[in-house]
Structure formats: C-alpha cells, structure tokens
Amino acid sequence: MIIRTLNEIINTERDIEWGNGQSRRFLLARDGMKFSLTDTLIEANTESLLEYRNHMEACYCVEGEGEVEVDGKIYPIQPGTMYALDKNDKHYLRAKTTLRLICVFTPSLQGHESHQLSNSKSSCY
C-alpha cells in the first residue's frame, strides 16, 4: 500500500514548479501504478499553452475558476468539472482565480518532467 500526504510532498523532488504553478506528484512511474496522480495549482490570472505529446491527462477541478480552450472552443472550469485530453490536445489553460486540479496521467510521469513555458507559453511533455 502507498500512502502519502500533501505535506510530505511539498518542497521535495515531487513538488515541481512549472512556470504558472506547482505540480505535486503523489504517484510516479517508480511507484509501479502505471499512472500518475498529481495535485496541481495554477496561479490566478495566468494563461498556459500546453500539449502533452507522450501522456493522456484527465483533470478534476476541486478549487477555483478558469477555462480550457481546445481548437477555439472554450470550456469553463469550476469545482466539480472534469476535462480529459483524450487526443493529446494542444490547449490553453486559463486561471481566473487560483485553480486546484487533481490530475491523472498515463503513462506514468517519471518525476522530472516539467512544463517549459517560453515566450510563446508553449509546453510539452
């Protein structure tokens, strides 16, 4: 059995600053679960252009308000909203307030991956 608390993860190698927030990684490939589970914070008033070429991702909002845009269509995000990027979709993630998302990735994250936000705010992993 694996048991971890958020307090055990904060300020460790599992707490990744990714440019517009933090990705707290509860499960990684080395944990043997074949998927990753993260508690992700997105800073208020930020926009990130993201694309996961090597992973599928599903996110469940537990706090905050924002939106995700895929192919020009905007979907609001608020507590209780789940979105899944089932086609490795390039997407904009916008946080109106601080967003907190619980995210599942498959295949598992190794742990060192981080968004590489550039002037174009593009990110891949």
State the average pLDDT over residues 92-121. 79
Q: Could you report the per-residue pLDDT of 14-63, keeping only the tens digit for each?
A: 999 988 999 999 999 999 999 999 999 999 999 999 988 888 999 999 99
pLDDT of residue 52: 83
What radius of gyration, in Å, describes the C-alpha atoms of the chain? 14
Q: Model confidence at 1, in pLDDT bands (50, 70, 90)?
A: very high
pLDDT of residue 113: 62
Q: Model confidence at 114, in pLDDT bands (50, 70, 90)?
A: low
The domain locations on the chain are: 15-110
Q: Write down the residue that tokens 């589970």 correspond to.
A: 37
Residue pair 85/57 in contact (Cβ under 8 Å)? The answer is yes
Q: Could you report the per-residue pLDDT of 49-104, keeping only the tens digit for each?
A: 998 888 899 999 999 999 999 999 999 999 999 999 999 889 999 999 999 999 99
Architecture of domain 15-110 in this structure: Sandwich (2.60)
